Structure 1
Amino acid sequence: MNIALIGYGRMGKAIEEILIQRGHDVVLKISRTPLPEELKNIDVAIEFSKPEYAFDNLKVLLENKVATICGTTGWLENQDEVNKLAITNNTAFLYASNFSLGVNLFFELNQVLARMMNKYRNEYQINLEEIHHTQKLDAPSGTAITIAEGIIENTTYKTWSMEENSQEIIPIEAKRIENVPGTHIVQYTSDVDTIEISHTAHSRKGFALGAVIAAEWIWNKEGIFTMKDVLELN
């Protein structure tokens, strides 16, 4: 495939390495919004930029009928509009807060545990913690938000917050520590014990490989997809 990398930071470079290993051609790699004339003959675009640039990037890509996967977090107030652009232009779009295979399995495990623990809301206090490198701009992480949403969908919790803590709110704590690729912890704590599940990334390679697998999967498709579709977790 001919691939465009929109966002050529550390993640973009990790993705490029895997793309080349798997026989793909990286024909465009930029850290700005692409121009329409740069998108000719692009099979799939992989967008890993910054929250403030993501919507403009996605708008140009989808208006030019480029199938796109996006791993940038912090822009989801525009997600409905982006989805409509993909459908209107008969192309494909896939957003994931995290492309790691392990994290997406963790999402599923989190939902199963949430359903089990909902019966014991009065006995256990929930807490969600995420730890990332100091260069990560958004907090909480998109992955932490996805985890919280998975809990909300399967329990009587109403929302999440980094500032409030009540019976209907999932508290999220975000920490920034040098050289931490990403750790997410869900805890249920009572007076007598703690139940905990966690995912710890050891490097960016897991995220990068998942992004490449998603790009390979989305090629020549139309519609709105998630990593559940890619990994057949539906």
Structure 2
Amino acid sequence: MKIALLGYGKMGKVIERIALERGHEIVLRKSKDVNFEGLTNADVTIDFSVPSAAVENISASLNAGIPVVSGTTGWLEDYHSMVSLCEEKNAAFIYGSNFSLGVNLFFELNNHLAQLMSKFDQYKVSMEEIHHTQKLDAPSGTAISLANGIINNTAYNSWTLENPKEDELLIDAKRIDNIPGTHSVFYTSEVDTIEIKHTAHNREGFAFGAVIAAEWLVEKKGVFTMKDVLGLK
């Protein structure tokens, strides 16, 4: 499989190593100083760039008819336009706020716990997410996905980063050096707290999941998620 890496920072380099170990070839390593030359040689693109570059990267791939796996967060106001472009070009697209197998299982656990806890209004829900200081968006895409899972299954209507109202879910977003990603959900009453937590030890899980998603997406058409890749639907 020939892969175009759109974004060649720390994550891009880990994805490259794992892809090469799995027998794939990298035909484009795009950073801010590199153009799209070589993109059309790719069987699939993997976009782990920055929010300001994501739409351009995804659009270039879809316009060329190349399947796209995107793990860049912070650009989702344009998500539906990318879905429309994918459908127009009869291409293939997966966006994931997190490609880690463990995190995607954690998403399912979060949804199930929210369903269980929705009947017990004595518990107030809050979240904490911790990432490295180089992460540009806050809260993280993973935290937003977790928050939406809670909102969809409880009486909460939205999330906020500070001073929550009664129907708002508080997300405490912290940035600390050398933290790949830690996400916690708390259900707190006057007598106890129920907590679920996912801690990433390194970037390997994110990168491995992205490569697995790319392998799965080649020769498919449509818009998918990691639930499709992992058979969780």
Identify the TM-score tier after normalising by the shorter chain: over 0.9
* Percentage of matched positions with identical amino acids: 58
Q: Which moved more, 1:197-206 or 1:26-35?
A: 26-35
SS in 1 for 2:14: helix
State the alpha-carbon separation in 2 of the partners of residues 197 and 14 from structure 1. 28
- The amino acid across from 2:58 in the alignment is L
Aligned to 2:150: 151
2:38 is aligned with 1:38: yes
Unaligned ranges ≥5, structure 2: none
State the alpha-carbon separation in 2 of the partners of residues 86 and 115 from structure 1. 33
Q: CA deviation at 1:68?
A: 0.3
State the alpha-carbon separation in 1 of the partners of residues 40 and 140 from structure 2. 33
TM-score (norm: length of structure 1): 0.97
Aligned to 1:186: 185
- The answer to whether the Cα contact below 8 Å between 2:180 and 2:202 also exists between their aligned partners in 1 is yes
- The answer to whether the Cα contact below 8 Å between 2:62 and 2:68 also exists between their aligned partners in 1 is yes
1:1-234 → structure 2 map (5 Å cutoff): 1-32=1-32, 37-121=37-121, 123-234=122-233
Q: CA deviation at 1:124?
A: 1.0
- Count of residue pairs brought into register by the alignment: 233
- The amino acid across from 1:91 in the alignment is A
- The answer to whether the Cα contact below 8 Å between 1:129 and 1:172 also exists between their aligned partners in 2 is yes
Unaligned ranges ≥5, structure 1: none
Q: Cα distance 1:33–1:151, how it changes in 2: closer, same or farther (>3 A)?
A: farther
- CA-based RMSD of the aligned residues comes to 1.2
SS in 2 for 1:136: coil
- The answer to whether the Cα contact below 8 Å between 1:6 and 1:32 also exists between their aligned partners in 2 is no
Post-superposition CA distance 1:21-43 (Å, at most 9, x none): 00000111111397565222210
Q: CA deviation at 1:160?
A: 0.5
TM-score (norm: length of structure 2): 0.97
- The amino acid across from 2:157 in the alignment is K
Q: Cα distance 1:226–1:34, how it changes in 2: closer, same or farther (>3 A)?
A: farther
Q: CA deviation at 1:163?
A: 2.0
Post-superposition CA distance 1:114-134 (Å, at most 9, x none): 01111112x111110000001
SS in 2 for 1:139: coil
Q: Cα distance 1:205–1:36, how it changes in 2: closer, same or farther (>3 A)?
A: closer
State the alpha-carbon separation in 2 of the partners of residues 66 and 189 from structure 1. 46
Q: CA deviation at 1:57?
A: 1.2
Hey, which bits of structure 1, 4+ residues long, moved more than 2 A?
Answer: 32-38
SS in 1 for 2:49: coil
